[in-house]
Amino acid sequence: MAIANKNIIFVAGLGGIGLDTSREIVKSGPKNLVILDRIENPTAIAELKALNPKVTVTFYPYDVTVPVAETTKLLKTIFAKLKIVDLLINGAGILDDHQIERTIAVNFTGTVNTTTAIMEFWDKRKGGPGGVIANICSVTGFNAIYQVPVYSASKAAALSFTNSLARLAPITGVTAYSINPGITRTPLVHKFNSWLDVEPRVGELLLEHPTQTTLECAQNFVKAIEANQNGAIWQLD
C-alpha cells in the first residue's frame, strides 16, 4: 500500500520506534497522520508538521486500556473528520514484568479493543469499506525472553490475534499483518524489571546482543506497510 495520500491512525506514534516511524511515514506523504498517544508531545508534533507541511498531522490523547465504547467514541470523531481511514497501526507497549495486569492490558487487550472498535467503521458486513491493520508485536512472540514471560506471552497473544485477523479478512474485509522488531535501542530495553526478579540484569544482558536503531527499524516498518501483505509476519531486525 503506497503511503502517499492515505489516511493513517497511529496508536503510540510518539514512542521510541513510534516516533521514528511517524517521521518516515510523514516523509512518504500521507494525506493525514492521526497520532493517538497517552502523553502529548507538542515538540514532536511540531517537528512532524514541519517535516512535510503537505501532511496534516493531528494528535488525540488516548490510553489503550480504556473500554471499547470509549475508543469507539474517539474513532467516531476521527472518522467524522477524515471520512476514510486506510490504515490503523497499533503500537502501544510496555516492558515491565512487575506490572503484570498493565502489561497484558497495554500489549494485548488494548490491541484487541482498538481493533474491535474500528471494525464498527470498517467491517464490510456493516457496509464498511474494509481497511488495513498493522500490529506492532515483537520477536519475543515466537522467541520468548524467558526472564520476562509476561511481556513475551502478551506479545505472543498479540501475534496470534493478528494472524487470526488476517484469516478473517474474507469475512470482514479487513486485512492485517504483524510487525515484530528485534532488539532495538530504545529506553524500553535499557533497564526493566524481570518477572519475580529472576534476572536483575536482564536489560544489560539483552543489550549485549546485536541491536538495531529505532531509525533502522522504522525504515523497515515503512517497507512492510508498502508491501501490504495480509497475514505477513514481518521480523524487523
pLDDT tens-place string over residues 155-209: 999 999 999 999 999 999 999 999 999 988 876 556 789 999 999 998 888 878 8
Q: Copy the grid coordinates of residue 185.
A: 535501542
Query: Which residues of the chain are modeled with pLDDT < 50?
Result: none
Q: Annotated catalytic, 60?
A: no
Q: Confirm if 34 and 10 have CB atoms less than 8 A apart.
A: yes
CATH level 3 topology of 7-235 = Rossmann fold (3.40.50)
Count of CB atoms situated within 10 Å of the CB of 179: 25
Rounded to the nearest 5°, which phi and psi values hold at 83?
75, -50
Angle at Cα 92 formed by Cα 87 and Cα 191, nearest 5°? 145
Distance CA 141, CA 155 (A): 5
Among 60, 62, 146, 151, the one annotated catalytic:
151
| Residue 21, C-beta contacts closer than 8 angstroms, at least 6 positions apart | 10, 13, 89, 91, 217, 218, 221, 222
CA neighbor of 118 nearest in space, from 71, 159, 188: 71
Instruction: Output Rg (C-alpha) for the chain, integer angstroms.
Output: 17
Residue 134's DSSP bridge partners are 89, 177
pLDDT for 176: 98
pLDDT for 187: 65
CA neighbor of 155 nearest in space, from 178, 137, 142: 137
pTM: predicted TM-score of the whole model, two decimal places? 0.96
Distance CA 206, CA 13 (A): 24
